[in-house]
Amino acid sequence: MEDAYARSVSEVLDFFEVDSTKGLTDTQVSQHARLYGKNVLPEEERTPFWKLVFKQFDDLLVKILIAAAVVSFVLALINGETGLTAFLEPSVILLILAANAAVGVITETNAEKALEELRAYQADIATVLRNGCFSILPATELVPGDVVEVSVGSKIPADMRMIEMLSDQLRVDQAILTGESSSVEKDLESTMATNAVYQDKTNILFSGTVVVAGRARAVVIGVGANTAMGNIRDSMMQTDDEVTPLKKKLDEFGTFLAKVIAGICVLVWIVNIGHFRDPSHGGFLRGAIHYFKIAVALAVAAIPEGLPAVVTTCLALGTKRMARLNAIVRSLPSVETLGCTTVICSDKTGTLTTNMMSVSKICVVNSVQHGPAVAEFGVSGTTYAPEGFIFDSSGIQLEFPAQLPCLLHIAMCSALCNESLLQYNPDKGNYEKIGESTEVALRVLAEKVGLPGFDSMPSALNMLSKHERASYCNHYWENQFKKVSVLEFSRDRKMMSVLCSHKQMEIMFSKGAPESVISRCTNILCNSDGSTVPLTATLRTELESRFHSFAGKETLRCLALALKIMPNGQQILSIDDEKDLTFIGLVGMLDPPREEVRNAMLSCMTAGIRVIVVTGDNKSTAESVCRKIGAFDHLVDFVGCSYTAAEFEELPAMQQTVALRRMALFTRVEPSHKRMLVEALQNQNEVVAMTGDGVNDAPALKKADIGIAMGSGTAVAKSASDMVLADDNFATIVAAVAEGRAIYNNTKQFIRYMISSNIGEVVCIFVAAVLGIPDTLAPVQLLWVNLVTDGLPATAIGFNKQDSDVMKAKPRKVGEAVVTGWLFFRYLVIGAYVGLATVAGFIWWFVYAETGPKLLYAELMNFDTCSTRETTYPCSIFEDRHPSTVSMTVLVVVEMFNALNNLSENQSLLVIPPWSNLWLVASIILTMLLHILVLYVPPLSTLFSVTPLSWAEWTVILYLSFPVIIIDEVLKFFSRNSYGIRFNFRFRRFDALPKKELRDK
């Protein structure tokens, strides 16, 4: 029954044909069970494990690598090769792919946990009326039409319509649905609001919420998937995880690279068709297989096998740094997504505010004879910690507040007319509430006022342990006054009273809604001298004016406090006693903004990131909080920037699009509205970060480009998110965005480094094949270079320092390619030099080296006909391991110099020297030590087909390698000047990572 909130009690009961005094019969239960189903959230279909595994290999680069590994394995078998050397390359490739697949499977398995944890919020049992008798049944057996009784502490087992109130009031904590900390008062009246949201449906009890006060009966109107919790589950099931911008660019790069690799491999094979019949191959077929092996080696050289591992490592390093900022990253790719975030949709309660009610204003009557009759005091401190001061209207701190009569009696009333507790949690290191937020705020106020009679009391209180300090003053008043009777809060009176006994004197303390309390007051307590004087009409008007100012303009939640001297010996309170009260004071409290939020939001604006505050609170309260934050000072008013969910939905499609571009505040929202907001922003090509803490936030967190859960939030929200804020603080998000931008810049640098290095390897093999000289590098040598010499420096580039102006730049566009135009030309030049230097080292050994054969260049080009003609040298020299060792070492050393080029995209090494990143220097040293180990340790040198080199050979290697620094310095110079910019303009259409529509909606 979807509109039960708009129907009367009798209409709902008639719909389900149930008698509220007897409940359903067994026959009706069976009928309703068949009609409406069970009260359980249906289990979602799990993706089979084998499908998850195969999904990880659904990538072009991965498929090419697998094909290369299989071909290498088959060719080794055809050639009759045996031992470790033959199968090393395919084995290493397959091991890398298996490791990457394992990480992917684990990530996807974790994503399904959010749906499982949703079931933890379902009630286990329910007190049900059936066949005229109450019984306790499993909540899963409930059917629509069942009459259920709930009381304090009960978890609501299904969506239910209130039918009977069994206490003065019923209050329910709906935080898991609305995100708002205050409990909601429920009633029996039907709601006529159009587009009613959860907060408007005051006669409905929602499944998973908890009763915090009162007792009532209700009739079940929805079970299982047809409940508020079921709607959230459905929304989460319909939400697909968004692919991160970096993943999209890497996927595009993979597709582009795959096409290029396939083309070059085919080209190399075709170019060498004329050499298939060369005698050295032993026949046309063997010649075709030989050059096919070269094509496979080319594929292995072109594909950066280490790229996934290096990206993962760099992101993991970022997560460590972010953990120190209190941002716990659950999904590695989300670290990078933060860098291009354009909109942050932030919860108000708990993120921008402390989620701790705090008294900020006090109003008392000072004197009826002198000066202004009414005085105001300010209270500092924004948390439940009993730390803060009281200031007079001119801003001067009161040294001993408890010496002022009204403040002293306010502290008494706050401590005694109170049923909540304040305690210190040593595990979390903070003060916590037990009970209603407003009452705990009064307890904290009592601690801030302090105790009378001791001049040294403020300093004495500071000497207490935190556990003792939590309620020291409250306990003092509770020991001084013995509670005799309590008159509970009711909806009719809107106040609460407590009768206390103190030294043979009975006093009643009252607190409640100002309009109720002030109307019952006939006297006032004066703060100047402690006298009690009659409450005049003028004073009453003045107090009501202050109350409306607190509640209206400042949107404070107000309570009035009063007392009354009762007859000696009275033991019971009645409603009739709540008259002729003496007014003590008026307190205004709020959920205060976090102090650091203002600067954090200003940082967002500087960085080009828009903030939209999203809350279930009402519009006026939310606008007031936003003004207090100060981040919306640039807005003259909120017209066109502030919308309730209902107002936004009523706008035509075109106006919604315009409204989204200006929106700064979105109020009275439900889970579906948050998800709708994320989708609408994404349709405008915004990269959206969404914060949340409740079960209600899970669908939006999952849908957003990056979902950010609060550390104090629900397990469901955390499981659906990409990142968790340990301190629930908006400022932490801004720090994380800066870190995300820095990580992307470093990621971009090492991707460029690996691309230029791999271009060098491709050029090396391609040039050797075109020139017709022997293979410069064996496949196993290429694999060593790709995995070790590429991987270590690339990872170290991730430690490049964060730019000082990282938060002054606008967010990068999602479609921005990693390597484009002029930049691609630069790395093509570098790559070409790397490849040519490698081939030059190979040719040098044969033609010029003192220890080499000193062949004519023509002899080297005709090496494959050596066995068919007379030569002055043995044909076995072409099997010598020296030339390929020189080539491999040139490739390694030139790539180390190239790594230094990547300390900065455009800055010279004279400006940013190598020691600015000591990790990179260390990785280069370690890489060279590993390479020397391979050259000079016999088992390894045999495995990699290399041999030790002489000092003369090392000298030539350095001469061939160092110019890569000079070439890149020249290219950087052009980049810093207009030549590079003009060149970039001419090349603007060329993109190494082709652009395409990024969002497939």
| Catalytic positions | 347
Q: What are the two backbone dihedrals, phi and then psi, of residue 578, each rounded to the nearest 5 degrees?
A: -85, 60
From the CB of residue 881, how many other CB atoms can be counted at a distance below 10 Å? 16
Tell me the pairing of strands 642-644 and 665-667.
parallel
Q: Which residues of 227-239 are buried (b: 16+ CB within 10 A; e: fewer)?
A: bbbbbbbbbbeeb
Structure tokens of 153?
């502490």
Q: Give start and end residues of each alpha helix (H) in 854-977.
A: 857-861, 882-901, 918-936, 938-943, 951-961, 963-976
Contact indicator for 4, 16 with CB cutoff of 8 Å: no
Rounded Cα distance, 188 and 183, in Å? 17
Rounded Cα distance, 97 and 166, in Å? 64
Vertex 108 angle, CA 105 and 111, to 5°: 150
Kind and range of the H or E run holding 532: strand 532-534
From the CB of residue 752, how many other CB atoms can be counted at a distance below 10 Å? 24
Rounded Cα distance, 191 and 669, in Å? 18
Rounded Cα distance, 510 and 559, in Å? 10
Vertex 836 angle, CA 835 and 841, to 5°: 100
Contact indicator for 138, 158 with CB cutoff of 8 Å: no
Tell me the pairing of strands 133-138 and 688-692.
unpaired
Q: Which residues of 818-836 are buried (b: 16+ CB within 10 A; e: fewer)?
A: bbbbbbbbbbbbbbbbbbe
Rounded Cα distance, 127 and 139, in Å? 9
Rounded Cα distance, 327 and 737, in Å? 10
Tell me the pairing of strands 125-130 and 184-186.
unpaired
Rounded Cα distance, 951 and 882, in Å? 13
| CA 24 to the chain's CA centroid | 47
Length of the chain in terms of residues written? 1001
Structure tokens of 822?
């002029």
From the CB of residue 397, how many other CB atoms can be counted at a distance below 10 Å? 11
Contact indicator for 509, 412 with CB cutoff of 8 Å: yes
For CA atoms 851, 853, 856, 860, give the dihedral sign.
negative
Across the chain, how many H-helices and E-strands are there?
Answer: 37, 29
In the 3-class helix/strand/coil scheme, how is 607-653 assigned residue by residue? CCCEEEEECCCCHHHHHHHHHHHCCCCCCCCCCCCEEEHHHHHHCCH
Rounded Cα distance, 413 and 437, in Å? 16
Among candidate residues 867, 874, 863, 889, the one with its CA nearest the CA of residue 956: 889
Contact indicator for 614, 345 with CB cutoff of 8 Å: yes
